[in-house]
Structures are given as structure tokens and as C-alpha cells.
Amino acid sequence: MAKYLITIVGPTAIGKTSLSIALAQHFNCEIISCDSRQFFKEMQIGTAVPSSEELAAAKHHFIQNKSIFENYTVGDFEKEAIAKLDELFLNNDYVVMVGGSGLYVDAVLKGFDDFPEINSSVRDEVKLNYEKSGIEYLQTELEKLDPKYFEVVAKENPQRMMRALEVCIGSGKPYSSFLNQKKNTRNFTPIIIGLEAERSKIYDRINQRVDTMINEGLLAEAKDLFPHKDLNAMQTVGYRELFSYFEGEISLEFAIEEIKKNTRRFAKRQLTWFKRNEETKWFDYLNNRQEIINYITGLIHYS
């Protein structure tokens, strides 16, 4: 019997969690999360972790299972996620995967890409230039050397940009040229569902979500994490802006507006990333759930 990984993608705040639970309940299966920030148990409010009611409605994996103090890479996630899928498929023909982290989705669906070994001197030079000239150096150089990857990279994430820049400089080739080359064999058939909406509606939902996070205690959560602001996991929208507020650089009101603005930018990059995959079937976020279920069932019956 064929195995199916029903994958739900789309921009932040579009309703992926509620759809994933509806599908998991319909197909009587479990959920794998591939949101790269919901892995961390210290980050709850700011990463929109599913509520206790949502977690109880369907069995979830890779939610708050790591600590911000662990060095957890997309390669680590790929290995753990594939092992978990192998386990789940022993007893079920379906698993739902949900998340907005495009790199992590691709790692599970296609396999993690092979990159050339980069001389440590290149890595040291990139890091030194970043420490000296700031994130603008990374953005400027990466846009020049790999405009294709620059379009979709998280431009506020120095670690990710440094890694891409190391590869560009060390190999003499764009980082993007190494992406999606390796096609690992998978023991499942992917069915990819995308949720979308008009941009104004996505932005409204993001603004409302940020206000809700503030009301639910994001300020206190960020204050607790402030001593660890230099960790890789902390280079996350919703926390970085509040860290600037704690340091007296900006007002709280401005920090909240920056969170909204940077989250809207993130959502735009998510859509750019996910729209590249022609195998994705897109639905409006208000589409009737039964219509989506019928589409999936049709694919299963005819495959």
C-alpha cells in the first residue's frame, strides 16, 4: 500500500495549523511540524505554537522538542523527520506535515542538498567582515553573488546569510546552484496543499496575530530570553525587535510595528519560496475543508 505525506504550506498566520488538524482527524493520522522556531521549548508565544487544545486534537511531533541552547540544523531535522515518518508509516498510510519553513519542508520532501567543503579561512573572513560591518555587509555581498537566493533568504538571519556567502565565495558558484540537486528516494508520495489569500488579508491576519501575541505575554517571554539574545534561535522576528526595545534603542510602540512589518516581509518571502514548487495545489484560506479533502482523496484514488 502506498504511503502519503500530506504537506500543508503557506505564509504565516494563514490557518495552516487548523487545516492540518482537520486533515489529521479525517485521515486518522498524526502531524509532523516543520516550523523551525516551534522546535524550541523556550519560545512559545512568539512562534505561535499550537494551543493545548490543538495539540490534544491530533498527535503532533517536533513541537517544542528542542532547546535554544542546542545546535540543531536542517540536516539534523531531515534525519529525525525521515526516521519518524518511517515509524509512523508502519501503522498508517497517511501523515500530515505542516509548516512555514521552506528549507525544512524541502529537506523532508526532496532531501538535504550536498554542499562543497568550504575552507575555514573563508568562513573566518566572512564572520570577521560581518562583525566589523554588520548585517548590511552580508546582505550586499549575497545580493551581488547570488541574487536568486537573496530573494528568498531571511534577510534578518545572519547565520543563514553567512552560510550562503561562505559557499558563494569558497566555491565560486552561487549558493542557489547547489539547492535541489540531490533527489533522495522517499518511501512516500507527497501531496502538497498551499493556503493563500489576497495580500491585504494576509497582512491583516498578521497584524491581528501580533496584537494577540502581545496581549498573551510576548513581552515577558522575550524579557526572559533577552540574556540569550545572541543565540542563533533568537534571530527571530518577534524577539529581535523587543530586544532592541529592552536595549533602549526603540520605543515599545515602534518595536511592535517593526514586528508586524518584518512578519509581513517574512510572509512575502514564504510565498516566493513555496510558489516555486509547481506540484503544490493552492487553495484560498477560506475554501471549504471538504473541497480540500476531496482533492486529496481524488489524488490517492488515482495514484
| One-letter amino acid of 121 | S
**Percent of residues in the chain assigned helix, strand, coil, to nearest 5:** 55, 10, 35
73 is in an annotated binding site: no
84 is in an annotated binding site: no
Distance CA 18, CA 96 (A): 12
* Helices 120-133, 158-171: inter-axial angle, 10-degree rounding: 130
Question: What DSSP line would sit under 7-23, residue for residue?
Answer: EEE-STTSSHHHHHHHH
CA angle 250, 134, 74 (to 5 degrees): 100
13 is in an annotated binding site: yes
Query: Radius of gyration (Cα) for the chain, nearest Å?
Result: 20
- Name residue 192's beta-bridge partners: 7
Residues 6 or more apart whose CB falls under 8 angstroms from that of 139 comprise 150, 155, 161
17 is in an annotated binding site: yes
Contact 196, 10 (CB under 8 A): yes
CA angle 98, 88, 107 (to 5 degrees): 45
16 is in an annotated binding site: yes
8-state DSSP, 66: B
For the record, the C-alpha cell of 91 comes out as: 501503522
Distance CA 87, CA 95 (A): 11
| One-letter amino acid of 255 | A
297 is in an annotated binding site: no
DSSP H or E stretch at residue 279? none
81 is in an annotated binding site: no
Measure Cα distances from 271 to 47, 102, 133 in Å: 18, 9, 30
In the block, which residue shows the cell 567543503? 117
Judged by DSSP in three states, 6 sits in strand
102 is in an annotated binding site: no
| Binding positions for ATP | 10-17
| Binding positions for substrate | 12-17
| Binding positions | 10-17
